[in-house]
Structure formats: structure tokens, C-alpha cells
Amino acid sequence: MTRRLGYLGPAGSNTELAALKHDGRALLLPFGSNRAVAGAVDAGTTDEGVVPIENSLQGAVTDTVDMLIHDYDLLIRHEIILPIEHLLMARAGTDLDDVEVVFSHPQALGQCRVFLAERLPGAELVASLSTSASVEDMQQSDRTAAAIATSRAAELYRAEVIAEDIQDNPNNTTRFVVLAAADHRPTGRDKTSICFDFSEDAPGQLFSVLEEFAKRRINLTKIESRPTRQDLGRYIFLVDLEGHRGDNEISAALEAVRRHVSMFKILGSYPVGAP
């Protein structure tokens, strides 16, 4: 049976490229937002959904992180690491110096900030729902417009590339995750993502959690925080750690952490993505 795989569309987005890398034989179904992708998986409309969760330059994709914490009980089944190359494209015959407005996803606009400031200082920057949607926005604009998108989007929508490799940093990489009803079985080279918070603020609380991993020699690969949405100054902590939640030491550490926190959620165990 063909797997149904949702992604942030339309076709030509970086998320579609990540979906193709994950499963090139799947039936790819585009959605208009990351939340719609997650909703489709939650409703069973798709078997899995691909969403961006972290960029090497701009950090966490907060809408993805927040919906995993607050809105859905989906689990991360895979991660996909994708190098990002941004191109500036426009309607045929457009000169770079004539561009009045640039469309793209907010993440892409932020990742090309230096190029835009130096080469198009007077251009208006307009957010689109995705990089591929920005090409459609550009083509429908009644102004001299350009879009920041992928080479695949340029081919699909017959746009003319007027500048290549415009990202500020050549080491621009985005981490995508595959959401599903269940996470992945152990492979021997896995990662587990969790989140937690504390009901009250007190000295040493975060240390007490981190100590459970340290004394078991479990390596943490990322720790960050997001607002609880309840009170100013209260945060939910997100941790990525090496190992699968089914491993004995990992399982023992997670059970110990539960005793220190007020809210605890496993976001999934999954194979470590290949760069």
C-alpha cells in the first residue's frame, strides 16, 4: 500500500524536497501550513507528515515546536537533515535592479538578510506561506517582483533564476521531522526528544533533571525553552538526547525525570538523521 505523506506545499518547497528524500515512492499530499500537515496525520488523512523543526542559522521553528507541545499527541518517527540553497527568481526578463518586492517564507527571508540588504535595499519583503507559494505570489503580483525559493520551484513554475546561493551562510541546514501516530523502533543509533516543565519555580530544579541524565552518562544533544503560554517567566524545556526510550538506561532516566517535573511528554524516539 502506498504511503500517504503530507508536507508544506505547494510542490517545490524545501519541505517537499525533504519528503522526497524521506520516501520518494510515497503519495505526496501538499498542505497550506505546518499545522494543517499535523492535523492531517492526527485525523488519519495521511500516514505521516513532514514539517521543519530547526534551522542551523535561525534555530527552532517555533510553530512546529509549539504544536507538538500543546496541540497534538503525534510522535516524531524520523528526522531528515537537508542542506538549504536559496535562489532569487522572477518572471522572465526581470532585472535584479528593478525588483520592488521580494516574496518568500519568513525563514527564507531571514536566511538571506545580508543579500537583500546589500543588493535590494529598497525592496519590500513580503511573507508567503512557503517558498514554493512565494513563486506563485511573485507571478501574481502587479509589481516588479521576485521570490526566494528552490531550483525545483523555478523549474516547476517556469521562473527565471536571477541570483543563486543568496543565503547568508553556506552552512545553512534545516532539520525536518516526520510525524506519525507512533515513533520508530530501536535501531542502535537513535535520538529521543522530550519536553517538561515545573509547577513552581525553585533553585536547582533544572539541575535535578539534568543530573538524572548525567549520572547515567546519557548525552544531551540539545536543550532549549519555550513559554508555557500561562505566565510570564515560566517555560517548557525541550531536550534531545542520544538513545531510544526503549533502552534500559534511557527508560530509567525518563522515569526518574517524571518524578521531578509537573508536565512530561515524550515527543518520540527515532533514528539519527544523516547529514
- Known catalytic residues? 174, 176
d(CA 64, CA 74): 12
Contact 57, 169 (CB under 8 A): yes
Residue 257's φ and ψ, nearest 5 degrees, are -60, -40
Measured on CA atoms in the order 36, 42, 46, 51, is the torsion positive or negative? Answer: positive
Q: Is 50 in a helix, a strand, or coil? A: strand
Classify strands 87-90 and 145-149 as parallel, antiparallel or unpaired: antiparallel
d(CA 19, CA 177): 10
